[in-house]
Amino acid sequence: MMLGSTSLLKACARLIADVGEYAAVTLYLPAVEGEVPSPPVLVHSGEAAAVPELADSVAAEGAVAELDRSSVSRDEIVRHPSRRAPGLLLRVPTRSERPALVAGETRSDLPPLWVGLLGGSSYEQNALWRLAGDLARHLLQVLPILVDSTTSVPGRAQFQVYLSQALRAATANQRPLALLLVNPDDFEGVNERLGRAGGDAVMVEVADRLQASRWPVFRYGAAVFAVLVPETEGAPEDLAQDLLRRLTAHPYGEAGVRLTFSLGLAVVDSAADDRRDAGLTLLLRADEALSQATAAGGDRLVQWQAIDEGEAVERRDRLSGIFTADVGRDYRNMLLLWDMVSVVTRFAEEDDLAARVLDKLSAAFRPLRIDYLEMAGEAGELRPIASLAEPPIEGRQLARRALEAQRSLSEEGLHAFPLIARQKVFGCLLVRGEESAPELDSADAVLLEAMASHLAAALDRAALARQERSRREQESRHLRAELSELRHALQQSKLLHRSPAMEKVLSMARRVAPSDATVLITGESGTGKEMLARTLHQLSERRDLPCVVVDCGAIAASLIDSELFGHERGAFTGADQRSPGRLAQAEGGTVILDEVGELPLEVQSKLLRFVQEKQLTPVGATQPMMVDVRIVAVTNRELLSEVQAGRFREDLYFRLNVVRLEVPPLRQRRDDILFLGRHFAKKFAFQYDKALRGLSPAAERRLLEHDWPGNVRELQNRLMQAVLLSETDRVEERDLQIEAPPALAVAGDGTVADSPLEATEERLRACLRGLVAEAVGDSTVRAMPMGRWLEEDLILAADRLSEGAILAGSRRVGIPESTYRRRLKRVSAASEAGLLPRAEAWQEIRALLPDWLSEGKVAGDRLRSLRRMLLALVVEHFPHSTGDAAGLMGVSEPTYRRWKESELPSAGIH
């Protein structure tokens, strides 16, 4: 309101300066004391400086106090020459003409307006001085009264002033004070039928009938009126009933609208109840009574004493009465409600929610200070959050009493609003102000109580949501843990077997496991070498420490050094942080070097030192470090032949080959085929929720007939596929999708006719037999590594026939895709480098290989079949010369002997 008065006084100062041609005009309006105090106003207009006596508020206060004492006339304009400048000071009276509205109220004069003038042409402008005084008087009178523009009755601000005065008078006279809240029922329907203008006309008539009662009437908010009864002429409820009859006796407006009313009555006995928050208590009780009357259907009077207080608080509309006839305050309250809704919907955590609401409330009620005291700890300590400073001790005490009473309390400028929802205490809103801050009126108290109620409900919902999230997260973690255990059980099954060959390997593993000896595990792809390595770790004393698996074949050659041994920050481009390396990560445990034969030679030298001394140096480091790990190396290569070929260090081979465990292929332990097949069928049926009873007899026969070049891995994959494809309660032969061995063609005379595949195979055998026989007497031919040439040329032929398709090529050769990919990469690199020279006599064999791969359907490992063919011929021609025979096969003597023992008996060669 003072913003408007300042603007009007500035305009008045400019008008005086323009009319009187003054160099400077200064207007000073002293402070107003009372129920609605206002600060002093000092405005200036003109190019020159102000009169020294009115240079600032401090100077003005002292100067006018001295001059006011020397002024004789109070009703006339008094002139005082400036003592410090060639100017003039005018004292312009602003006598109050306002009548007393409350019985016993004393009328007081308003302070004068002081005018400072400099450099004008004339000081005789009495009309202007009177105009300025009238303007000041008008502003000072409007400031506390604030009359409602629609009904012309005083509004909420004046109601607050009169309520305080009436309570003081009632206390002094030892008399009760009654407050009546009146609300027309369904007034929204009146506005809808008659429009805004018609509704306002009806509201004016309601106000007129209320004012006819001769009691002070105020516009409390929206369509609600407040009536103060300072001195009752009978029982308050009888007077209220009489007023209700008069309000409903006649229709309203030209349309003859019949209205019913809800009335809420509350009486405070000042003699018996001298609480300092009596005004707020009286208002809240009347509001509760009005809410009860409205909830009961209207057209009735409800007195507060007839309501159970606890029940009334629960049923009362928390937002009732927060909208008033003050447009500015209503706008503020509306924005505050909108902000409240926005905060509640956007923030789910209790601390964020409380802090955001507190920010909104503090901004709306500034300069009043609002703190949020949170109930914390088992002892119920009130702890401030989002607060600039600790609340005073008396504020904490008041908040504690409000929480115990479970209702808002006020005391000497302090107001406490408890935050309670579903009997759960969250804390308290504490409102306080400095000495110069305005008091919290009843309307704002109602609003803050409503905000506290809704904030408590929002905090309760946030706490419930947090508990629900916690419950769901705990349940999710539990389910994930169960699923992880199930997957671990399915994927990390123990090494199952039934065959004596595997029992022999495991028996040796059990004896070796407790030691720290380095172990080399060899065998074909898919035989379970890595699982055996993990079994060694589980059986060792290091079982509770890390087991790190390093797939040497899956890491790029340029990265394997830093991957194994680690690197320092900045050791190479992209090394933005230090990495310990896989070996250091296994500290105290076991490191499994899978496909160790794939390591580059330059890395093998560093690995040798680590195997010997358990010492390594990260890339970019200068000092070595000790790492205590147990090493288990795994490979499907014949490392000794790799040593002879110069692709593997001999010293590293012997360091790794301290204890050797060779896992036999599945074709050499046929007792395991059905046992593992049934196990996999049961496992995948459970995993994929299939109702299977096992394998059909035909499916079991097909499993036993197959050669299983991919070993246990191939068997596992076949059974997974069969379980997924199965449409009955058992895995059938067709579900396995294993091609039957080729049937023999029978000629008309009963003899077996040669198939195209058999014919090509016989030509290959004949060519190989001729070369092997020639090698007996020719050392040049004897130097040919025919076995290695067969493998290399077969891989290249398969790649050409498959046009570079890896999967198709691996199927033609009959070996696993990963093995085919690795061998093709090595052979292709050698071929492009010109490192695959062939003798002239070998060209016919090389030309036959594509035909042999193209004719007939693939049945088993073609590479192994071809190798067995050559091996049989070599053994036949070199039965006692192991060195020459191994040279023709392109392998080491131990490998040749192993092949001779394992392959030839199964082929029926003696």
Q: What is the DSSP secondary-structure string of 13-68?
A: HHHHHHHHT-SEEEEEE--B-SSS-B--EEEEESSSPPPGGGSSHHHHHHHHHHHH
Three state DSSP letters for 848-907: HHHHHHHCCCCCCCHHHHHHHHHHHHHHHHCCCCHHHHHHHHCCCHHHHHHHHHHHHHHH
- pLDDT given at position 148: 64
Yes or no: say if 113 and 27 are a contact pair by the CB < 8 Å rule: yes
Q: Is the pLDDT of residue 867 over 50?
A: yes
Written as six digits, the tokens of 220 are 């409390």
Q: Which of 191, 181, 341 is nearest to 257 (CA)?
A: 191
Yes or no: say if 259 and 249 are a contact pair by the CB < 8 Å rule: no
pLDDT higher at 716 or 773: 716
Q: Which of 344, 345, 339, 346 is nearest to 360 (CA)?
A: 339
Low-confidence winner among 77-86, 200-209, 641-650 (lowest mean pLDDT): 77-86
Written as six digits, the tokens of 273 are 């109840």
Give the angle 506-507-512 at the CA atoms, nearest 5°.
90
Q: Is the pLDDT of residue 136 over 60?
A: yes
- pLDDT given at position 753: 42
The DSSP 8-state label assigned to residue 312 in this structure reads H
Helices within 627-690 (DSSP H only):
639-644, 650-656, 671-687
Q: What is the pTM of this model?
A: 0.36
- pLDDT given at position 289: 87
Q: Is the pLDDT of residue 632 over 60?
A: yes
Q: What percentage of the chain exceeds 70 in pLDDT?
A: 76
Mean pLDDT, residues 722-732 taken together: 89
pLDDT higher at 665 or 445: 665
pLDDT averaged over the chain?
A: 77
Q: What is the pLDDT of residues 795-838, one digit of tens each?
A: 999 988 888 888 888 888 888 888 889 899 999 988 887 788 88
- C-alpha 532/C-alpha 832 separation (Å) is 38
- pLDDT given at position 519: 94
- pLDDT given at position 744: 44
Yes or no: say if 116 and 18 are a contact pair by the CB < 8 Å rule: no
Cα distances (angstroms) measured from residue 508 to each of 337, 519, 526, 834: 79, 11, 20, 45
- C-alpha 716/C-alpha 657 separation (Å) is 30
Q: What is the pLDDT of residues 510-529, one digit of tens each?
A: 999 999 999 999 998 889 89
Q: Which amino acid belongs to residue 700?
A: E
- pLDDT given at position 521: 94
- pLDDT given at position 41: 79
Mean pLDDT, residues 334-357 taken together: 66
Yes or no: say if 303 and 288 are a contact pair by the CB < 8 Å rule: no
Low-confidence winner among 258-262, 489-493, 573-577, 802-806 (lowest mean pLDDT): 489-493
Q: What percentage of the chain exceeds 90 in pLDDT?
A: 9
Yes or no: say if 894 and 640 are a contact pair by the CB < 8 Å rule: yes
Mean pLDDT, residues 449-470 taken together: 78
Q: Is the pLDDT of residue 312 over 50?
A: no
Q: Is the pLDDT of residue 489 over 50?
A: no
Q: Which of 162, 285, 302 is nearest to 218 (CA)?
A: 162
Q: Is the pLDDT of residue 298 over 60?
A: yes
- pLDDT given at position 410: 77
- pLDDT given at position 792: 92
Yes or no: say if 53 and 60 are a contact pair by the CB < 8 Å rule: yes
φ/ψ (deg, to 5) at 857: -95, 150
Confidence class for position 379, pLDDT limits 50, 70, 90: low
Low-confidence winner among 112-116, 437-441, 681-685 (lowest mean pLDDT): 437-441
- C-alpha 878/C-alpha 782 separation (Å) is 11
Distance of CA 278 to the CA centre of its chain: 48
Q: Which residues pair with 843 in a beta bridge?
A: none
- pLDDT given at position 293: 86
- pLDDT given at position 317: 46
Mean pLDDT, residues 434-461 taken together: 70
- C-alpha 303/C-alpha 297 separation (Å) is 15
- pLDDT given at position 17: 79
Give the angle 363-368-371 at the CA atoms, nearest 5°.
80
The highest-confidence range among 28-37, 361-370, 446-455, 723-732, by mean pLDDT, is 723-732
Mean pLDDT, residues 87-92 taken together: 84
Q: Is the pLDDT of residue 634 over 60?
A: yes
Q: What is the pLDDT of residues 419-440, one digit of tens each?
A: 787 777 778 877 876 655 556 6
- C-alpha 615/C-alpha 393 separation (Å) is 67
- C-alpha 113/C-alpha 134 separation (Å) is 9
The DSSP 8-state label assigned to residue 257 in this structure reads B
- pLDDT given at position 589: 93
Q: Which of 159, 158, 150 is nearest to 223 (CA)?
A: 150
Mean pLDDT, residues 126-141 taken together: 61
Q: Is the pLDDT of residue 499 over 70?
A: yes
Written as six digits, the tokens of 773 are 């026989």
Mean pLDDT, residues 330-348 taken together: 65
Q: Which amino acid belongs to residue 157?
A: A
Q: Is the pLDDT of residue 769 over 60?
A: yes
Mean pLDDT, residues 24-34 taken together: 79
Q: Is the pLDDT of residue 590 over 90?
A: yes
DSSP class per residue in 263-304: EEEEEEETTT---TTHHHHHHHHHHHHHHHHHHTTSSEEEEG
Q: Which of 547, 631, 627 is nearest to 589 (CA)?
A: 547
φ/ψ (deg, to 5) at 268: -115, 130
Q: Is the pLDDT of residue 485 over 70?
A: no
Written as six digits, the tokens of 511 are 């004896």
Q: What is the pLDDT of residues 46-68, one digit of tens each?
A: 888 888 888 887 888 888 888 87
Q: Which amino acid belongs to residue 577?
A: Q
Yes or no: say if 354 and 414 are a contact pair by the CB < 8 Å rule: no
- pLDDT given at position 318: 47
The DSSP 8-state label assigned to residue 349 in this structure reads S
Distance of CA 536 to the CA centre of its chain: 43
Q: What is the pLDDT of residues 655-670, one digit of tens each?
A: 999 999 999 999 888 8
R_g of the chain computed on alpha carbons: 52
Low-confidence winner among 177-191, 265-279, 613-627, 818-832 (lowest mean pLDDT): 265-279
pLDDT higher at 727 or 171: 727
Q: Which of 816, 805, 784, 810 is nearest to 795 (CA)?
A: 810
- C-alpha 78/C-alpha 88 separation (Å) is 10
Helices within 384-441 (DSSP H only):
393-405
